[in-house]
Amino acid sequence: MSNSSAVSEWNISGMAASGILGLAFLVGAPGNLLVIWTIVQHVKLRSFTVALILHLAVADLLVVITLPFWIYSMAQSWIFGPVACKAVVYVVCSCMYASVFLITAMSVERYVAIRYPFSLMNQKRTAILVKALAGIWALAFLFAIPSVITYHVDMMDGIPQCLFRTYSSLSQEVVCFLLEIVIGFIIPYLVLGICYRQVASYLRQMNLQQKCKSSTVIICIVVAFAICWFPYHLNNTIHLFNNPDVNEPDESFYHALSLISGALVFINSSLNPVLYTFVARRFQGSLMKSNLVKLFKDIASTYAKSPESTDLATIPNILHNEQTRM
């Protein structure tokens, strides 16, 4: 592959990624702001699920507001300096970990609320939620630290770009790779799979329409996250085992692939408001805001009362069904 071909490949992939990121910004910025405003202003009674959705929208918004930096960089060059490069990358990586931890917490909370209704009584909810959210963000900021160390500005076909990672050794590269894919993808999705298998079983027994509705919201979030992040982790895996840094053409091709898979990551931060709106269509209302208000209030009211009423009322029936099967 000639150098001109490599430059052309970079330009084409850069333009494609810029278009994707531009669309993500136009959808994600107002969409996540709408979700945050709707919950803060109109949902005073917030369940675990609604609080986690609020923090997820905050994490998505933080990612989306970095998009103008990336769009300009891909269209022209990175002119913001090495400190801004590390800062922007750190924000994105922190929010990536926060997002997957929040989504995992939603599934765990759903399982606990249905399987052990007494464990989330009203007086315990606030304290548990505050500690859980503080722990999630603390871990997210901690696990994102390697990005500050490894990312830097370098030349790509004579143009400075904030897209490069440099490792001091192979062992450091492996550790960073395992940290991202194991902590940020594999373990959370193992937890998600286990929890939702149990949740699906109990929902079938309890036959609660509202719980099914809110579970549908979270399942959509989980699937969207997996679809958008899987190419990124797959690309990193291929890069680690194939070592594309052996020659310049392969390196250029790898960075072109990184642009596309990275752009899909940003798309995820714009999808969740669209998913909420899609589910909210089931409510009657002339404005999207009013539909979202009804959706979030419905989820909040369901889980606010579940330990004392809905869930407890179904326990005798569940026990009877279990004894019948035995």
- The string of pLDDT tens digits covering residues 180-212 is 889 988 899 889 888 877 777 776 666 554 455
111 or 56: which leads in pLDDT: 56
Residue given tokens 């871990």 in the structure block: 139
> Using one digit for the tens of pLDDT, what is the confidence trace for 215-272?
677 777 888 888 888 888 888 887 777 754 444 445 566 666 777 787 788 888 888 8
The model's pLDDT over 124-169, given as tens digits with 9 standing for 90+, comes to 677 788 899 999 999 999 999 998 989 888 877 778 888 778 888 8
CA-atom Rg of the chain in angstroms: 22
Half-sphere exposure of 179 (CA within 13 A, CB side): 18
Residue 94 confidence (pLDDT) above 90: yes
The least confident of 27-36, 104-113, 139-148 is 104-113
pLDDT for 70 beyond 70:
yes
Residue type for position 320 = H
The helix or strand, by DSSP H or E, that contains position 321, with its residue range, turns out to be helix 311-325
Categorize the per-residue pLDDT at 323 as very low, low, confident or very high, splitting at 50, 70 and 90. very low
Q: What is the pLDDT of residue 288?
A: 47
Query: Amino acid letter at 168?
Result: S
Give the pLDDT of residue 223.
84
Give percent above pLDDT 90 in the chain: 18
Ordered structural domains, the chain, with CATH:
3-310 (1.20.1070.10)
Tokens of 49: 């699920």
E-strand ranges in the chain read 151-156, 159-165
Of 12, 127, 129, nearest in space to 74 by CA? 12
Q: How large is the angle between the packed helices 248-280 and 67-75, nearest 10 degrees?
A: 140
Worst-scoring range by mean pLDDT, 57-66, 88-97, 254-263, 316-325? 316-325
- For 16, 21, 94, the CA distances from 28, given in Å and listed in that order, are 18, 10, 18
The Cα–Cα gap between 100 and 78 comes to 28
Hey, CA dihedral for 193, 199, 202, 208, is it positive or negative? negative
DSSP one-letter code for 159:
E
> Rounded to whole angstroms, what are the CA distances from 307 to 47, 152, 192, 262, 295?
12, 50, 22, 42, 20
Nearest to 113 by CA among 319, 282, 299: 299
Between these two residues, 105 and 283, which has the higher pLDDT value? 105
Is there a contact between 160 and 118 (Cβ–Cβ < 8 Å)? no
Mean pLDDT of the chain: 75
pLDDT number for residue 204: 67
Task: Give the tokens for residue 204.
Answer: 């079938």
